A and B are shown apart, each in its own frame.
Chain A
Amino acid sequence: ETGVTQTPRHLVMGMTNKKSLKCEQHLGHNAMYWYKQSAKKPLELMFVYSLEERVENNSVPSRFSPECPNSSHLFLHLHTLQPEDSALYLCASSWWGTVPGTDTQYFGPGTRLTVL
């Protein structure tokens, strides 16, 4: 799967560290997403960027800071995280247009984050 890549694949950080997750899509899509996936919970949408503008922010704590410098790249900057933030962070991209059903999301492999 090379359509959507994420780095790093695994990350262990302390509560006082600052780190960034990176996502890159090679599909020519115009929307990108960050999701949090915790055990036995549905995927939680964190942020949506469309045409590099943030269009959704689902009450995410400010210790998570997204950045979308262009339509192919998406970052999630992390600082002063809590142990309960440990989860799989998934990036996705899609084409958002006027044709129904064309907004299939393509996911990256995720970053497994552990906060100590």
Chain B
Amino acid sequence: KNQVEQSPQSLIILEGKNCTLQCNYTVSPFSNLRWYKQDTGRGPVSLTIMTFSENTKSNRRYTATLDADTKQSSLHITASQLSDSASYICVVSSGTYKYIFGTGTRLKVLA
């Protein structure tokens, strides 16, 4: 069964600290993997997209990694800011119109 699992479910960190969110997937075939950020009351916004051959990709303070062998991805947030408080969703694309979503990690950054 195609599945995307994220951990932790929720996370609280202090402003300025770093954190890493995990995504494990059992999806076949694999097309690409995306990380989305969803602020409260808004729709998800794409942060990064990674294809099979990519190991690391950065977008400002966000760095995503992908290990296609172990089927794991991580999203590292550097020097967190209050505006990073949101849900982060991992999505694996598996062919035409096939998107498998994780349940997300809810991040809270405290001042």
Contact = CB atoms under 8 A, between A and B. Distances in A.
Given A40-B103, A45-B99, A105-B99, A100 B43 contact: no
Interface residues of A, number: 26
Interface string A88-116: 00101000100011011111111000000
A104 B99 contact: no
A21 interface: no
Nearest to A10: B41
A100 B32 contact: yes
B84 to A, nearest CB: 18
B109 to A, nearest CB: 21
Interface of A: 1, 4, 31, 33, 40-43, 45, 48, 50, 55-56, 90, 92, 96, 100-101, 103-110
Interface residues of B, number: 22
Interface in B1-42: 4, 31-32, 34, 41-42
Interface in B36-85: 41-46, 49, 51
Nearest to A102: B49
